[in-house]
């Protein structure tokens, strides 16, 4: 029973200004006015000037975006798709740094950025994501078995993947070498003299299974990033003669300090011999530090802790975290630029960003080694 509305969204009865009205005003064709905006070389500078002045006089604010989109097929917006909860996204420093890189790049060229959160519980086909509203997608760290990827495959428009899933049939990929990052982190601990090392990973699948990660669990994991970091970490341990099977691996329920604290507590209680913790994210590492403190352990004297990502808080945390640094803002910038390029016809591309070990104060030689040195 809604009141019938005029199709023209004219305010206060005033007819809206179009290309045609400007053309009429100065006696040229609609095409010429269009060209004044889109192909300046097609008309004389004088005429173009007259067109633009008339447009200004009539209060024309440029070609109607919907009409242009309808005609050209270009929507001038990109979608950022992620499967984490919104409340997580807006608290996670990794995601935020990434997001700010993306937003900076898209805003810089006047392209819209549409956030496309896929709520965890709901099946994606039921969520009102306007897939058709964008020219392409950035997929941020989505496990390879997530149902939304099927939907995305049917949607038109190129897809740039960040971190996961590392498929080959997408228009672009941006990530880091997780494996070698983990190698660096583990190598660092080994070199310090640690032999009793525990590992805490983030979720291994769409549905987390917090607690000790059995071999079966690891084998069926779908979160590639975690798997790669796991494989990488083992490498230096094995090289140092440590039995792979004896290394405790815990899965945290979420990537946040609370879940990290829980996992670390359990692990440290069950394995009191541990002298170092290798955490696959800084937020988990922060939780691990909290757990250590509650158990009366000092970091790094009683327990070394290594993180991953180098979020801003890694620097300000007490003690400052030793971690693997990755350029999170650049990751966003590069992913966005890559997508924009591909939309403009560039060839698919793959970029692996450089990472490095940043040693701060959360790691030290194990107490036993330090004691015997004294």
Binding region for its own copies (CB under 8 A):
7-9, 11, 59, 61-62, 64-67, 69-77, 86-87, 89-91, 96-97, 99-100, 103-104, 107-117, 127-133, 154-156, 312, 329
**Peptide bond connecting 300 to the previous residue in cis, omega within 30 degrees of 0:** yes
Q: Which span (65-73, 118-126, 145-153, 328-336) binds DNA, by CB under 7 A? A: 65-73
Reading the block at residue 364, the tokens are 């030290």
| Residue in the structure block whose two tokens are 């100065």 | 26
Closest CA to 265 of 304, 284, 291: 291
Q: Residue 132 and residue 154: Cα distance in Å, rounded?
A: 11
Task: Report, in Å, the least distance between residue 220 CB and DNA.
Answer: 41
215 binds, among its own copies, DNA, none (CB under 5 to 8 A by kind): none
Task: Report, in Å, the least distance between residue 170 CB and DNA.
Answer: 24
Task: Report, in Å, the least distance between residue 76 CB and its own copies.
Answer: 7
Task: Report, in Å, the least distance between residue 131 CB and its own copies.
Answer: 7
100 binds, among DNA, its own copies, none (CB under 5 to 8 A by kind): its own copies
Beta-bridged to residue 325, according to DSSP, are: 309, 356
Is the CB of residue 224 less than 8 Å from the CB of residue 272?
no
Measured between alpha carbons, how far is residue 214 from residues 182, 207, 220, 246, 343 in Å? 20, 15, 10, 12, 43
Torsion of CA 319, 324, 326, 328, to 10 degrees: -40
Task: Report, in Å, the least distance between residue 349 CB and DNA.
Answer: 25
28 binds, among DNA, its own copies, none (CB under 5 to 8 A by kind): DNA
Binding-site string for DNA from residue 25 to residue 64, where x marks contact by CB under 7 A and - marks none: --xxxxxx-xx-xx---xxx--x--------------xxx
Which is closer to DNA, CB of 16 or CB of 244? 16
Residue among 1, 8, 168, 374 that touches DNA (CB under 7 A): 8
Helix axes 224-239, 178-192, angle to 10 degrees: 30
* Helix H or strand E segment including 67: helix 65-72
Is the CB of residue 131 less than 8 Å from the CB of residue 140?
no
**Peptide bond connecting 165 to the previous residue in cis, omega within 30 degrees of 0:** yes
Q: Is 16 in the site for DNA (CB under 7 A)?
A: yes
* Helix H or strand E segment including 353: strand 349-353
86 binds, among its own copies, DNA, none (CB under 5 to 8 A by kind): its own copies
Is the CB of residue 238 less than 8 Å from the CB of residue 271?
no
Task: Report, in Å, the least distance between residue 10 CB and DNA.
Answer: 7
Count interface residues toward DNA (CB under 7 A): 31
Q: Is 18 in the site for DNA (CB under 7 A)?
A: yes
Is the CB of residue 319 less than 8 Å from the CB of residue 305?
no
Residue among 24, 52, 68, 211 that touches DNA (CB under 7 A): 68
108 binds, among its own copies, DNA, none (CB under 5 to 8 A by kind): its own copies
Q: Which span (70-78, 222-230, 250-258, 330-338) binds DNA, by CB under 7 A? A: 70-78
Reading the block at residue 233, the tokens are 């970490």
18 binds, among DNA, its own copies, none (CB under 5 to 8 A by kind): DNA
Helix axes 19-26, 45-58, angle to 10 degrees: 120
Task: Report, in Å, the least distance between residue 171 CB and DNA.
Answer: 21
Q: Which residues bind DNA (CB under 7 A)?
A: 4-8, 16, 18-20, 27-32, 34-35, 37-38, 42-44, 47, 62-64, 67-68, 70-72
């Amino acid at each position: 029973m809604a009141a019938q509305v005029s199709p023209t969204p004219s305010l206060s009865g005033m007819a809206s200004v179009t290309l045609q009205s400007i053309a009429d005003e100065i006696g040229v064709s609609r095409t010429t006015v269009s060209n004044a905006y889109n192909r300046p070389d097609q008309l004389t500078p004088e005429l173009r000037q007259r067109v633009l002045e008339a447009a200004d006089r009539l209060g024309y604010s440029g070609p109607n975006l919907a009409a242009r989109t309808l005609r050209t097929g270009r929507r001038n917006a990109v979608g950022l798709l992620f499967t984490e909860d919104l409340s997580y996204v807006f608290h996670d420093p990794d995601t935020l740094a990434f997001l700010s890189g993306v937003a900076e790049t898209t805003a810089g060229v006047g392209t819209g950025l549409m956030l496309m959160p896929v709520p965890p519980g709901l099946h994606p086909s039921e969520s009102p994501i306007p897939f058709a509203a964008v020219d392409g997608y950035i997929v941020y760290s989505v496990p390879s078995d997530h149902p939304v990827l099927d939907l995305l495959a049917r949607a038109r428009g190129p897809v740039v993947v960040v971190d996961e899933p590392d498929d080959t049939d997408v228009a672009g990929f941006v990530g880091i070498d997780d494996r070698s990052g983990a190698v660096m982190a583990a190598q660092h601990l080994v070199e310090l003299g640690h032999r009793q090392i525990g590992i805490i990973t983030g979720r291994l699948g769409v549905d987390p299974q917090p607690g000790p990660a059995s071999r079966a669990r690891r084998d069926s994991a779908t979160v590639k990033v975690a798997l790669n970091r796991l494989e990488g970490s083992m490498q230096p341990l094995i090289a140092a003669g440590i039995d792979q099977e004896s290394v405790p691996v815990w899965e945290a329920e979420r990537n946040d300090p609370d879940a990290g604290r829980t996992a670390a507590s359990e692990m440290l209680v069950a394995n009191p011999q541990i002298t170092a913790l290798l955490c696959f994210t800084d937020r988990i590492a922060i939780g691990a530090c909290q757990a250590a403190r509650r158990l009366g352990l000092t970091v790094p004297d009683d327990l070394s802790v290594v993180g991953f990502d180098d979020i801003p808080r890694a620097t300000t945390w007490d003690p400052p975290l030793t971690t693997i640094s990755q350029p999170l803002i650049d990751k966003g910038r590069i992913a966005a630029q890559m997508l924009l390029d591909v939309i403009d016809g560039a060839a698919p591309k793959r970029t692996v960003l450089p990472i490095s070990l940043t040693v701060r104060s959360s790691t030290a030689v194990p107490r036993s080694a330090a004691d015997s040195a004294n």
